[in-house]
Structure 1
């Protein structure tokens, strides 16, 4: 799979998909069959230390779990905490730890272990959304072996959602004091053999707390960047794989293959260099000229066909954070080359005399955007890179425009936090440094009331648009294809292969 689409993609709803009828797979009536190795290929594994992950979260949940879990529809449900309670002021979280949960080394999970994980994140991990939550902690206490009380300096609304990615490890995990090399978790599968960029083999854990699960003997995650997994799916070399839209149609004709979407969306955007903008891109008129030159509908049709959603927001209609008035006021909803050229003239810019440096992942849709920019008369030096190369080049801030996408997230905060001055992986959005925006996001995060929190996030979004930091093109919903013998499985809300009420712990293979 190429990194640019299957590893960061998303959509609208199953009913809107052209393969919706094909996608519906009835749950098996037969008793689950035990054994077998599920061969799975969606996302990669970027580190053996789950607390230090940088965004590739499609593998970790096989062997580590959080206090909470996201349901397939995006709600929060108990995981390692069998129950949780939030104080009326939103500052005190009380978690009741599930009884008789064992780590993969046989030790019983206790509240002290949870506290140790929270303290490790707070004191040893730099950057990332996990530290954002833990730095809010005023006190982390374990009044008894099964109770954890987290007291925050101020309300932090995303915490229950983020707790689904605050993975609990045994403090006996090798490398605990520095970088964990052999994570000891509580998940249905264990940390087996890892060959970066090649494969990860995860044997089943016989002492898993969900009695009788998992059914599989192991899961083998294919971590290679394969452009087209279709042949491997047809041959049975893969059982489950993420598939891009341009590779999907032929697979839908195979009755043994079933395609279904991840619930959350991937959003596509055009970013500008906000950290060190070179002239003339420090002029908002030039940025807006680029926005007017892009045919958003054409680009998103290229990405996801008629299922694509064109908007100017990081969420889609139906999401509580979507604002219809803002959507309706999108000045870039339709291309306007005439307006683009007029803005360039106003700014005194002759496109023929300015070469643009454009960065993207290796994918097809950025090439379409580049052609639209070239139509204004600019010479464009487009560099398409793999994930590591793109991160390195973006961090140098020696470019003008970046064409990227960002995938499903457990909470809207995990999208906004990347726009903050000290947020994780800010390079995709041009390294924004804006204290006013930081304050607006902080205000939203600290607001316990949902309606006011939504309004605060919207104020932050309007700041982003007013400053022309980047422009949203639209959204798509990623598609995962599974073979007919895969039973009891369906995609989740994010790329996670496992959650409390679904995923690979409940999956089995027909003979």
Structure 2
């Protein structure tokens, strides 16, 4: 290696060299400081790519996980504790009879395309959701709306046909977000809302990119990140590799519980186990033989060892349930002992129903790991009581929605219902379970008729018990939120009271 030799013939004196060296050191120091500045971008992974980007037009939860509270906002919102909070409506007054809701709307709110948010826009959004030709996935939640009035630009009056105790809660859901009249028709591929992030691009099969909204109405809630990229990676090993390499900053819903231990001791990553509303249930077509016989449904429930299924399908992560309800929700009742694991009783009940020599049917299972593994566990458990279960992998969401959700063309299926407090789906007609019970429907009507939380909790308990006894679906377990993300990332929700990736307060630690 050659040695640096100082010479006056270069035109630099020793003094000059020292000065330049010090200056270079200062410059390098400044460069180092600049490089150490917090990141302002985020790369976030999801297992399932949304089918569109308008949560008011389709049911898959992946839509809201990209857009809710990032691009779109509602009159109310649901916070990280599952509580209703004001959003585009800053306050409201409810009439004593519970029929009139008068909302005071925020002023100075604009959509990303410059359209002004006011009472006329709010009326448009609600009327669009409840219209006869509406494709809103939660259209029935607007069925109680009788009329929507706009006394002035900042006042919205919603008149109901009957008291609806959960109305403010429903208004906070992704399906209830406010949309702009001029852009609503294009929101599926070019979403425009009032939120802290703007839509930038969607590379189908790969990623969705958002950018900070510099004109966001809530200055205190202005996004701390400049750019967010949602990347869609279905393969669990690829998810883990991307996290470990730093190619991904976060995977809030990591889909491979068996790989969680592989992150232990990683100096860059943290793992979080939180609560969700993801109720894994094996729905049965109650209008189709043999599932129209309650004894068959009850026998199949007793053939299931829930804890063994959780251990085998989801590496022990999960909480067993006995009805369509989670321990997070008000009025929860543990009903796992209504029809506990008892294969001998299951065989006797099947024989009583006329299937002493067994029966055979098919489960349409989405491609997601939890559905495939749970189906395999059910297959083995059913075989022990003389039941043959055939597994048909069904692409989710498109084919599953067409065949099962809309077509009702199935025997049994399995899916994680993600919407909070959605026990009312068993009162919907039509709905893919094809379950009809007037007594259950009456309990749900009573829930709507009161805003008293204690009374609602009691009624929800009654509703749970009816489902646990009737078994229109096999109630298996609640999936936890398995989060993996960079240790320097702050503000991601650890629990998930509603399917979401709320990013406005997410930032990198200094």
TM norm. shorter chain > 0.5: yes
SS of residue paired to 2:291: coil
Distance in 2, Cα, partners of 1:391 & 1:132: 18
Cα contact 2:57–2:137 (8 A) shared by 1? no
Distance in 1, Cα, partners of 2:208 & 2:322: 38
Aligned match of 1:9: none
Aligned match of 1:254: 266
Is 1:386 the counterpart of 2:398? The answer is no
- Of 116-125 and 164-173, more deviation after overlay is shown by 116-125
Q: CA deviation at 1:323?
A: 2.6
Specify whether residues 391 and 130 from structure 1 end up closer, same or farther in structure 2 by C-alpha distance, changes over 3 A only: closer
Residue number among 352, 355, 374 corresponding to 1:346 in the alignment: 352
Larger Rg: 2
Paired residues in the alignment total 459
Residue number among 428, 437, 452 corresponding to 1:421 in the alignment: 428
Distance in 1, Cα, partners of 2:171 & 2:57: 15
**How do residues 148-163 of structure 1 correspond to structure 2 at under 5 angstroms?**
148-163=156-171
Distance in 1, Cα, partners of 2:195 & 2:247: 25
Residue number among 364, 378, 385 corresponding to 1:376 in the alignment: 385
Residue number among 89, 102, 106 corresponding to 1:81 in the alignment: 89
Q: Deviations over 1:282-333 (max 9, x none)?
A: 3322222212211112112334555532231233446322135xx27x2322
Distance in 1, Cα, partners of 2:294 & 2:208: 46
Cα contact 1:360–1:404 (8 A) shared by 2? yes
Q: CA deviation at 1:186?
A: 0.5
Q: Deviations over 1:187-206 (max 9, x none)?
A: 11112212344321112211
* Structural RMSD (CA): 2.6
Is 1:243 the counterpart of 2:235? The answer is no
Q: CA deviation at 1:123?
A: 1.6
Give unmatched runs, 5+ long, in structure 2.
Answer: 1-35
Residue number among 307, 332, 341 corresponding to 1:322 in the alignment: 332
Cα contact 1:320–1:454 (8 A) shared by 2? yes
SS of residue paired to 1:191: strand
**How do residues 100-139 of structure 1 correspond to structure 2 at under 5 angstroms?**
100-123=108-131, 126=134, 128=136, 130-139=138-147
Cα contact 2:77–2:84 (8 A) shared by 1? yes
SS of residue paired to 2:332: coil
Cα contact 1:265–1:478 (8 A) shared by 2? no
Distance in 2, Cα, partners of 1:81 & 1:64: 14
Q: Deviations over 1:374-408 (max 9, x none)?
A: 12223321112231233333254443322332225
Specify whether residues 404 and 351 from structure 1 end up closer, same or farther in structure 2 by C-alpha distance, changes over 3 A only: farther
SS of residue paired to 1:192: strand
- Structure 1 length-normalised TM: 0.82
Is 1:309 the counterpart of 2:319? The answer is yes
Aligned match of 1:22: none
Aligned match of 1:495: 499
Specify whether residues 318 and 273 from structure 1 end up closer, same or farther in structure 2 by C-alpha distance, changes over 3 A only: closer
Residue number among 59, 62, 67 corresponding to 1:60 in the alignment: 67
Aligned match of 2:308: 298
Residue number among 38, 56, 59 corresponding to 1:51 in the alignment: 56
Q: Deviations over 1:199-218 (max 9, x none)?
A: 21112211012227212222
Distance in 2, Cα, partners of 1:417 & 1:314: 9
- Of 193-202 and 34-43, more deviation after overlay is shown by 34-43
**How do residues 354-503 of structure 1 correspond to structure 2 at under 5 angstroms?**
354-362=359-367, 363-387=372-396, 388-394=398-404, 395-409=406-420, 412=421, 415-422=422-429, 426-427=431-432, 430-491=433-494, 492-498=496-502
Distance in 2, Cα, partners of 1:301 & 1:85: 48
SS of residue paired to 1:58: helix
Distance in 2, Cα, partners of 1:146 & 1:32: 42
Distance in 2, Cα, partners of 1:309 & 1:181: 37
Cα contact 1:34–1:215 (8 A) shared by 2? no
Is 1:219 the counterpart of 2:224? The answer is no
SS of residue paired to 2:121: helix
Aligned match of 2:30: none
Specify whether residues 358 and 37 from structure 1 end up closer, same or farther in structure 2 by C-alpha distance, changes over 3 A only: closer
Distance in 2, Cα, partners of 1:75 & 1:464: 26
SS of residue paired to 2:168: helix
Q: CA deviation at 1:32?
A: 9.1
Distance in 2, Cα, partners of 1:180 & 1:305: 36
- Structure 2 length-normalised TM: 0.82
Q: CA deviation at 1:78?
A: 1.4
Distance in 2, Cα, partners of 1:186 & 1:355: 52
Q: CA deviation at 1:129?
A: 5.6
SS of residue paired to 1:72: coil
SS of residue paired to 2:344: helix
